[in-house]
């Protein structure tokens, strides 16, 4: 067995020291990194919920999904906003969607499953949902947010999925009018 040269020993030692000084991103500080990147811009807002839902996989890569709620400080009846935030693997905020009515529950592949019918201000509904309703009736959303077309082209759709669509007998493609 050859003895380790002093030069090799020093290089290995310097390598370990460099790793220690640079710091490693761990799962333990993921939440704090995401929250720091998503901090509300205005001082008049207070964060009331910051929930890491999971990850979605899209054609652009993998993104962390966060549900964030903010309220305006100092109001007698607090008003606020809810956002669905997407972060890249470097933990940078890359996209924010305004939630109208939606409760994100979990992620699978490119999809985020919602607690019942949800709707977003800036995301289109699946054309099949619009076809289920009359000309003057507003659609009530879907239980799935699908990012299979990428983070710039999501759409809201429906899927029979226990825990999201309403139960084992629920058919999300039957409108409330049809079932009456």
pTM here is 0.75
Q: Which residues pair with 52 in a beta bridge?
A: 66
- pLDDT of 78 > 90? The answer is no
Cβ neighbours for 34, distance < 8 A, ≥ 6 positions apart: 50, 52, 64, 66, 85, 87, 91
Spell out the domain ranges in the chain.
Answer: 25-157
pLDDT level of residue 81 (50, 70, 90 thresholds): confident
pLDDT tens per residue across span 95-148: 999 988 888 999 999 999 998 788 888 899 888 887 776 655 656 788 899 999
Per-residue pLDDT reduced to its tens digit, 37-74 = 877 656 788 888 889 999 999 999 999 999 998 888 88
Under the banding of pLDDT at 50, 70 and 90, the label for residue 10 is low
Tokens of 46: 């207070």
Q: What is the pLDDT of residue 175?
A: 55
H helices of 23-159, in order, are 30-38, 127-131
**The pLDDT of residue 5:** 66
Q: Is pLDDT at 173 greater than 50 in this prediction?
A: yes
φ/ψ of 79, rounded to 5, equals -115, 150
């Amino acid at each position: 067995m050859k003895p380790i040269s002093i030069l090799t020993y020093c290089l290995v030692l310097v390598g370990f020291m460099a790793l220690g000084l640079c710091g490693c991103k761990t799962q333990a500080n993921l939440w704090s990194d995401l929250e720091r990147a998503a901090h509300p811009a205005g001082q008049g807002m207070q964060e009331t919920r910051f929930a890491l839902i999971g990850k979605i996989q899209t054609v652009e890569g993998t993104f962390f999904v966060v549900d964030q709620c903010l309220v305006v400080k100092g109001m007698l009846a607090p008003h606020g906003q809810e956002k669905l935030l997407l972060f890249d693997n470097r933990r940078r905020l890359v996209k924010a969607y305004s939630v109208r009515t939606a409760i994100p529950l979990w992620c699978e592949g490119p999809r985020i499953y919602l607690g019942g019918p949800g709707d977003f201000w800036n995301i289109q509904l699946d054309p099949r949902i619009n076809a289920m309703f009359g000309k003057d009736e507003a659609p009530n959303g879907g239980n799935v947010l699908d990012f299979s077309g990428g983070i710039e082209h999501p759409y809201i759709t429906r899927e029979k999925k226990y825990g999201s669509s309403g139960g084992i007998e629920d058919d999300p493609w039957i409108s409330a009018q049809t079932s009456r």
